[in-house]
Amino acid sequence: MAGHSQFKNIMHRKGRQDKARSKLFSKLAKEITVAAKMGMPDPDMNPRLRLAVQNAKSQSMPKDNIERAIKKSQAGEGDDYEEIRYEGYGPGGIAVVVEAMTDNRNRTASAVRSYFTKSGGSLGETGSVSFMFDRVGQIIYPAEAGDADTIMEAAIEAGAEDVISDENGHTIYCAFEDINDVSTALGASLGEAESVNPIWKPQNTIDVDADKGASLMRLIDTLEDDDDVQTVYANFEMSDEVMAQLADG
């Protein structure tokens, strides 16, 4: 999604990648452990685990870390993790969807609520904002994977629904239930993707100015810094001018 991707790019320019990578590896490992626990420990026999391992590899997560996470599932770890979705409004009335994986629902709910409150937003009930998003599959390829026409042709052949290409790469969308089939077909024609994920894609986005954008980024950053939070989605857009202001700030 546009707003979230822009946020990530700004954070990259602010030089926060080392801390972010450590957090990312931890969350990828948790997803691998839970996916392996819920199904077979063999990625070829477990679609969710296959996606988790693929994404871990695309983020340069060491092979030993991946294998260790799978082994944890067989040792009984991951039994107590519960997947929870939180929804609310951030600064400027921006809708925010938070996906968490926790072994303590009360701790996580309390923390997420406080993040929203401190940002000037408010946490709502489940379903309070998710109706403004579509649950879809998102497959991302780097720009060097091919030109826009090549990617579009491969995506159509694979059964995807939409493609957005720009100088940063190619983002392919498909129906949520088709994510494994589409990603497998694309892998055969284009090679391994940078990432393959089910996401919450906003149906419409809201433009934010520098003031609201800064507040919103602080909220998203705080949420993503929480060990229990896996992913965050928000329905915002930023102009190039606003992004430049935030990057320089």
**Band of residue 4 on the pLDDT scale cut at 50, 70, 90:** very low
Our measurement of the distance from residue 4's CA atom to the centroid of its chain's CA atoms, rounded to an integer in Å, reads: 9
Residue 133, pLDDT > 80, answer: yes
Residue 55, pLDDT > 90, answer: no
- In tens, the pLDDT along 105-125 reads 999 999 999 999 999 999 999
Domain 2-74 fold: Arc Repressor Mutant, subunit A (1.10.10)
Residue 11, pLDDT > 60, answer: no
The predicted pLDDT at position 37 comes to 87
Distances (CA, A) of 180 to 59, 75, 158, 173, 200: 19, 27, 11, 12, 17
Residue 76 CB: number of other CB atoms within 10 A?
A: 9
**Band of residue 82 on the pLDDT scale cut at 50, 70, 90:** confident
Residue 133 CB: number of other CB atoms within 10 A?
A: 20
**Domain spans in the chain, listed from the N-terminal domain onward:** 2-74
SS3 letters for 114-141?
HHHHHCCCEEECCCCCHHHEEEEEEEEE
Q: Put the strands of the sheet holding 95-102 in their side by side order.
A: 122-124, 82-89, 95-102, 229-234
- Token pair 């060990």 is at which residue? 227
Distances (CA, A) of 213 to 76, 84, 224, 226, 233: 42, 26, 16, 20, 14
The predicted pLDDT at position 111 comes to 97
**Band of residue 40 on the pLDDT scale cut at 50, 70, 90:** confident
**Distance (Å, rounded) from C-alpha 15 to C-alpha 108?**
28
Angle between helix 179-190 and helix 47-58 axes, rounded to 10 deg: 50
Which of 127, 24, 34 has its CA nearest to residue 82? 34
- In tens, the pLDDT along 177-221 reads 999 899 999 999 999 898 888 999 999 999 988 888 889 989 999
The predicted pLDDT at position 10 comes to 47
Which of 94, 91, 42 has its CA nearest to residue 236? 94
